[in-house]
Every structure is written in C-alpha cells, then in structure tokens.
Amino acid sequence: MVGPSRPQFVLFGSSIVQLSFGNGGWGSSLSEIYSRRADVILRGYYGWNSRRAVQVLDDIFPKDASVQPSLVIVYFGGNDSMGPHSSGLGPHVPLPEYVENMKKIALHLKSLSKTLRIIFLSCPPVDEVRLLVHSAYFSELVRTNELCKKYSDACITLCKELDIKVVDLYSALQTISDWETACFTDGIHLSAEGSKIVVKEILKVLREATEWSPSLHWKSMPVEFAEDSPYDLVAADGKRTLNPSTWNFHWESQWD
C-alpha cells in the first residue's frame, strides 16, 4: 500500500460496479470527487449474483485485515432477478434466497468494524425493448421490470430491517422522462447520464447521514497535504501563493 493511508471506499457488486470506472461511470466520478480524501476501490464482477458474492466474502473482506474500509457500497440484484433457465444453470436466484444472501453480506460487513458504513444499491429497471434485440446472444433470457421491482423492493425492505442506507435505483433512474434511452448503454448497463443519477443519490445519502461520525460526505472530509506551501502558484499580486489543495471549480457546481 502507498501512503499516507486514506479512508477506503469499496464498490462491491456485479457488472454495474465493474463497469463503473468507464464511460463516465459513477465509480470514476466518486474517485474524482473524493480525490485527496479517500481511495475508491473497485471490486466488481461481471455476471455475478448474490449467491456467488456470498461465497467469496471472506476473501474480499477478510475479518483479520489490518485496515478495514470506511464505506462499502454494495450492488447485487439485476442478475439474481433474471428468470430461471430450464436447465437450472444461469444467474437466477429465487427472491427469498436473494434476500438471505444480501443479509449475509450486510452482517459480514457490519462485523468487520464498528465504524464501517454500508450503502446498498437496489435493482435498477431495464429497457425491455432493447433487451429483445440482444436476447439472441443468450438462451431463454428473461429480464423484466416486473421482476426488477420485486427484487428492488425486497432489498429496500431488508435495508430498513437492518438499518442500512439504501439507494432506490429502480425509482431514481426513472425520474427523467426518457430514462430507457438516456440511462443505459445497452438496456442494462449505465450510461454517463445514468451514472450521474447514481452519484447524486449516493452523495445525498452521505450528506444526510448526520449520525455517521466522522462524516463521509466529501465536503466534510479532510484533504490530504492541505497545508500552504511556498511552492504553490504565485498570485497575481506577486506577494503570496495560492493553495490549490481544495480546488475543484471544474466540477463542484455539479455535485453538492
């Protein structure tokens, strides 16, 4: 590990997490927002469901690690919610088992540290029309918004029971009128516009979590090496230097 040690934000989930550092993704946006404040660490796995995630919890989040994350953002549900395949193969996980798996993930994370914070992302909607175009690549592909909403609602209900923060992606992505075309690249995975919504919802949770101490909202976190230096840029008056450690004017208006 390079130093100094910063708080770690881990993104854990399936392809919506794995792809979050590309195409104007929400992971890359968080990494920019939290630059010099926290390290955003990607643990995303294309095609995974909650069943597979539970199998590797101890490998990804070992209890004996010398440093535990400050925040873990978890997303599973889209692959789980796909209809079952007649062969018994595939990513489908029955709803009761999905809930139990997400509970196992939550309890494991809670056991790592008293100060570790958790945010779950619920199952987002899909563009069913575009999915029909891509369905020729897969066998018996069944992915509908009816199923997505059931898994989303179940995730939200579980989070309320366990007192875990949750972002309702199913509702959030549908707040714009043309969400089917604007929020997705292929009907499932997020476009830059869809990722902007995810970032805003995550930042809203972090801003409103006033009971979390210390706060994990970017405006409340200390900036690394923020002290003034004679090596900083010289001001126009030629008599002083300007400390750029908190300069973010190129994107601050976009995020609060």
CB distance 82 to 37 below 8 Å: no
- β-strand partners of 71: 9, 117
Token pair 């939550």 in the structure block, residue: 106
From 31, 50, 122, 189, active-site residue: 189
Q: What are phi and psi of 13, to 5 degrees?
A: 170, -160
The question of whether 186 is a catalytic residue gets the answer: yes
75 three-state secondary structure: strand
Residues 186, 228, 229, 256: which is the catalytic one? 186
189 assigned to active site? yes
- Which of 14, 28, 50, 122 is an active site residue? 14
User: Are residues 209 and 117 in contact, defined by beta-carbon separation less than 8 angstroms?
Assistant: yes
Say if CB 167 and CB 122 are below 8 A apart: yes
Token pair belonging to 170: 């199913």
How many whole angstroms separate alpha carbon 39 and alpha carbon 44?
A: 15
**Sign of the dihedral defined by the CA atoms of residues 192, 197, 201, 207, in that order:** positive
Active site residue 250: no
d(CA 219, CA 207): 9
Helices within the chain (DSSP H only): 15-18, 26-33, 50-55, 57-60, 95-112, 128-134, 145-162, 169-172, 179-182, 192-208
Residues annotated as part of the active site: 14, 186, 189
